[in-house]
Structure 1
């Protein structure tokens, strides 16, 4: 009886630690970086059955970039498979859920001025996971992983250039490792594959599809990291007192130039 009680208390304590971890990480990211939307996590599953344990698959067929943005902007939990995240075939290709349509090259050649050689280079340059290596995924704000009961494979931050700067110097200064950035302009969703392939931190500029479908803004960047990379980054920024916006605007402390025409109009003495 006492052993069973002890085991029960131990399980509750461990679960409480997990819940606290994701809430704490979420709050620290928001406090330090103030990203453009909620920091989101994603988890990939080998089978659809694994994903069903945490909830139902989303009913509407959307693009991968939309799933990421819905989680970040509206705090949605998106549970996806090959059927409901196939609105943009690049997304299901990146996730390894499906092959690209056989006529896709023909469409790009006829409608977008491509050649067969250029289209081949386009696809070869997109980072993607092996076909059928995963069959389902979940996207949600980091703190909502408390209720999901799984640990995210990676984190995506939607940021402006200054927020990205802070995150990347926080990472470099805590590890000595440079982040990566390598894109062809046509697949922001490849950020998922780069994280899974241990190429993160990964900074990318959103593609035209994401701007059309996911309401990406002109000054928006996407930064992908592993959970431990985010934790190191935030810890470093906390230690040196750097938060967004950082206190680096020296011109705010600079007196007006005496010879500037405006100074004559606002000064105490002429």
Structure 2
């Protein structure tokens, strides 16, 4: 027969419990209590209970003897047969209102508790297994679920099948001692409330009991299952390649790029910026519309009205400049034209509105229908352009530029007249904005079906034209409605507003735009100008919003190479360290921008915008 020290040694080897395995023996009348055993009433001057003395043995390493005179817990006294059950106990009163709803249910719970006959035993004797000077009836180990699993596996090594244990969530001392001794079977123990409160059993702990005459069998089971590869600590599968946070993996990617083993695509750079990370350099693109057509020898009107020629021009533009973002963009007049406005074209500037559909009669609004993107005006041609660019599978990010609701409304009514309406007829302004917002939604729905990103240009929402209060009253609610509409479809929305906008940065972020692309502050007095880029990037980066801008678009017809490089450096030095930044122009490139100046812009960005230089 195995001795207690050997049994403890084997359990420590294979199970590694956090506290001592505890030897438990019930002393019958006539059996002597070991002289060295501590007695709670005598030695501690306090009464104790079953779970407490087991806890002292497993944590302090003490041998303790608990008799009726040492005991305070009526439930534990009754379970171990140290006294006769009273009518209060058998009536279910002790359960009622705490563990059971009624006395009747409580009676059934008390009757289910395994008990020794009154007087069968008179003393509970416990000690750490390796220090026990007596032969135990059983051993109890407190352990975590994985350790209890190993003990369960060991118990089934020879016999197979499965263990069966029952639980009440109360009086677990009965299950530990009485049930184990009466069944002579190992028991899996769910520590009860009292054991957790008074026995200090922790949330992660369970318990497992082993009848002493089964100890050798279970030790053999631990050895056998251990040799079979089932062990504690649990052997974990480690032969895998970890999926680390994307930012961690970007470092590896950058090393591979530096060694020529990989390369960043334009889209990679943009995605890194949106995730708040860094690729090899700042992503860059100019806002190119009619410029691409002029570069390809088209007139502005041809570019804006012939989608096939526009697509060809955009493909050639991409091959020449390799921007990190490609835009499906022709002009900002097409939405107003589709609802009844007349457009005029020029050889030098972007299309504009010649006749405003609501200028002379705002009552016409009630009769207007929202244009069909697939039938009306040049809208179908723009969708054709979006579809073709999407199918081109550029390695760059791809977006479409639509017109925002305020600018649609202004072009329908006439900007000067509409500004007067904000004072004279605000209800009409809201009615017009509801129309324009629904229009912007409908056209946006058609565009996103081409699998292209969504950007709304609302240039006339600028504080250079309308004040912050006007923006908040007449524009912001509809911007937010537009953003929320597409966010519900899991589509993020970019906004571009011309001119001075720093007064409404908080409002733009509150509206929910995920990207804000800005112009230069166009105050006439240089002393009043604000570094809009610095203000926005500091605010936007704290909200996980991407900033785009703002190299002066007006210099692309006349700048020297040195002037362009200085302008690029200004933007990069101001914003690039914030990561959520894409370098671009402050507004659309002039149609007649000089191609070599655009190239200087791209070259300066590629050279000066390298993060290894910026981060030093």
Displacement of 1:151 in angstroms is 0.8
Q: For the residues of structure 2 that align with 1:77 and 1:261, how far apart are their CA atoms?
A: 56
SS in 2 for 1:117: helix
TM-score if structure 1 supplies the norm length?
A: 0.81
CA contact (8 A) 1:51 1:136 kept: no
Equivalent position of 2:88 in the other structure: 103
Map Cα deviations across residues 110-167 of structure 1 (whole Å, 9 max, x no partner): 666642201101101111112211111210011112xx2x210001010110000111
Equivalent position of 2:54 in the other structure: 68
Equivalent position of 1:87 in the other structure: 72
The equivalent position to 2:179 in structure 1, one of 190, 194, 219, is 194
Q: For the residues of structure 2 that align with 1:230 and 1:91, how far apart are their CA atoms?
A: 26
Displacement of 1:262 in angstroms is 5.7
1:27 aligns with 2:27: no
1:138 aligns with 2:125: yes
Map Cα deviations across residues 43-64 of structure 1 (whole Å, 9 max, x no partner): 11111x4133544533231111
Q: For the residues of structure 2 that align with 1:32 and 1:111, how far apart are their CA atoms?
A: 39
Q: For the residues of structure 2 that align with 1:98 and 1:119, how far apart are their CA atoms?
A: 20
TM-score if structure 2 supplies the norm length?
A: 0.37
1:152 aligns with 2:133: no
CA contact (8 A) 1:31 1:243 kept: no
Equivalent position of 2:115 in the other structure: 128
Which protein has greater RCO, CA pairs closer than 8 Å, 6+ apart? 1
SS in 2 for 1:192: helix
CA RMSD of aligned residues (A): 2.4
- Number of residue pairs matched? 244
SS in 2 for 1:25: helix
CA contact (8 A) 1:93 1:128 kept: yes
CA contact (8 A) 1:158 1:220 kept: yes
Q: For the residues of structure 2 that align with 1:121 and 1:192, how far apart are their CA atoms?
A: 21
Larger Rg computed on CA atoms: 2
Equivalent position of 2:32 in the other structure: 51
Q: Judging changes above 3 Å, is the alpha-carbon distance between structure 1 residues 113 and 40 closer, same or farther for their aligned structure 2 residues?
A: closer
Q: Judging changes above 3 Å, is the alpha-carbon distance between structure 1 residues 22 and 109 closer, same or farther for their aligned structure 2 residues?
A: closer
For structure 1, list consecutive stretches of 5 or more residues without a partner in the other structure.
Answer: 1-17
SS in 1 for 2:32: helix
Which stretch shifts more, 52-61 or 169-178?
52-61
The equivalent position to 1:162 in structure 2, one of 127, 141, 146, is 146
Q: For the residues of structure 2 that align with 1:100 and 1:269, how far apart are their CA atoms?
A: 77
Q: For the residues of structure 1 that align with 2:8 and 2:20, how far apart are their CA atoms?
A: 8
CA contact (8 A) 2:147 2:232 kept: yes
CA contact (8 A) 1:201 1:224 kept: yes
SS in 1 for 2:13: helix
Q: For the residues of structure 2 that align with 1:70 and 1:130, how far apart are their CA atoms?
A: 26
